[in-house]
Structure 1
């Protein structure tokens, strides 16, 4: 009996699944979802180019250092970078002495725990430590930025667009959707999914960060630099991966050609 009813039960579930899919598709076509403020006014990230883009792209270490300066001076107050250690900064051009100084001078200290007494204490950060977590006193918990450019669609462009996208709500939006007014304490940004976010504009004026290389620190430049830095934190081995990838591709092409020639040689007598 089990063998008899087993296929019938499977067929029943298959038909039910197909009916559900077909009905959902029909409803989506004949009864499109009502327009919302988010669906109408949410914007796609801006077009922006980074030195690491493309198969031939490479990190610009000077830009990464500028981006780190922006993170340190502006973003680190609220956002942590817990997947990155201080000594990783040597990869973007800082010397070991500079890394030790950065770790020692960092605002948040490393925490130690004595399992015998249960006591906790603070100590100065070491180069081998990861960036300490940020304890935020406001509402909510700002996301960690270590992997942000991997966690968001078109991550680098999204971060850049978000940082430069704060604006007043369009009058057309409030006319079409009167209930979509930005609540008190939130800030309108069309590049954010629901258009309103708790984070106030972090980059507000030119010269907010002083660049050691003399680059003019405009809001646009600072947004690009910190976005590039977050590309590196999310994938610090990007340059190495690309450098390794080209020899591998060359080897595969050569191996394919050799395999084809070997096949032609082995089967040459079979053609006559």
Structure 2
């Protein structure tokens, strides 16, 4: 066989191995657990963007949804009533919200524990006394704390909204274990939490119609803010830094070009005086 034929043969062999690798990758590509879950769509949230901020009215409505629907099972251990001041409620309104709860305090002068109205410095109350009580009340399932739940999910607020509005009947061929509810956005399709949002489930103070999608949107915004309460402050400081750079960048370029460059190209010679 000539050298040209050997070269052509080697080229065909390499091409064949490459094609086999591509086909093999397509056939034997790894399958991840998340690939079996319906991924939530990306929604156009109002706070997404470099210069966008949270909607205070949505946070206020979302708190109403959490208080009236979610707080019976889910805690928010890292949130205090004072965190609501200046965000969605005034100080007086937040004091009223805190005073509606009973907080165990003490001991008093007699060494006994007592209950008192809540204060701004108090955390949101836990629905259960301990983890065992929470599991017992929910058939062994532990409701997650919602303080940072948005950060703990890959799709963040998109996942929360899709999960809350994604309850439906299981398709043909899918069997959901007793005690679970079908939701394609939850891993495995079976979730212990039953559908919680229904039309008219909350009476909004501002008169907004409390549809299922509206309540899901509002509580998703509220939980997103709770996971990152410094969101607006960070963006505000970022915009200030950009404006500062825009002002000083021309001066820095001028200084580099006309003031510093002569020193850069000068040749300094140090002679021995001895």
Q: Is the 8 A contact 2:103 2:116 kept in 1?
A: yes
* 1:164 aligned residue: 165
Per-residue CA deviation, residues 120-174 of structure 1 (Å, 9 max, x unaligned), is 4433211211112221322222111111111111211110000000111122xx2
Query: Where does the alignment leave 5 or more consecutive residues of structure 2 unmatched?
Result: 1-23, 129-133, 267-274
Per-residue CA deviation, residues 170-208 of structure 1 (Å, 9 max, x unaligned), is 22xx2xxxxx521000011111122111000111x2111
> 2:80 is matched with which residue: 61, 82, 85?
85
Matches within 5 A, 1:86-235: 86-106=81-101, 109-114=102-107, 120-135=113-128, 136=134, 137-138=137-138, 139-171=140-172, 174=173, 181-203=175-197, 205-235=198-228
Partner Cα distance (1:254, 1:213) in 2: 43
Per-residue CA deviation, residues 196-239 of structure 1 (Å, 9 max, x unaligned), is 11000111x21110011111110000000000111111111211
Aligned CA distance change for structure 1 residues 197 and 116 (closer, same or farther; 3 Å): farther
Shift, 1:102, TM fit: 1.0
> 1:247 is matched with which residue: 240, 251, 262?
240
* 1:49 aligned residue: 44
* 1:18 aligned residue: none
Q: Which structure would you say has the larger Rg?
A: 2
Query: Where does the alignment leave 5 or more consecutive residues of structure 1 unmatched?
Result: 1-26, 175-179
1:264 paired to 2:265? no
More helix by share: 1
* 1:13 aligned residue: none
Taking structure 1 as the reference length, the TM-score comes to 0.77
**Per the alignment, in what secondary structure is the counterpart of residue 104 of structure 2?**
strand
Q: Is the 8 A contact 2:51 2:239 kept in 1?
A: no
**Per the alignment, in what secondary structure is the counterpart of residue 83 of structure 2?**
helix
* 2:270 aligned residue: none
Taking structure 2 as the reference length, the TM-score comes to 0.76
Shift, 1:100, TM fit: 1.6
Instruction: Provide the aligned C-alpha RMSD in A.
Output: 2.8
Shift, 1:103, TM fit: 1.1
Aligned CA distance change for structure 1 residues 197 and 256 (closer, same or farther; 3 Å): same
**Per the alignment, in what secondary structure is the counterpart of residue 150 of structure 1?**
coil
Shift, 1:110, TM fit: 2.2
Per-residue CA deviation, residues 35-56 of structure 1 (Å, 9 max, x unaligned), is 98x744x211123222211112
Partner Cα distance (2:96, 2:107) in 1: 26
Q: How many residues align?
A: 234
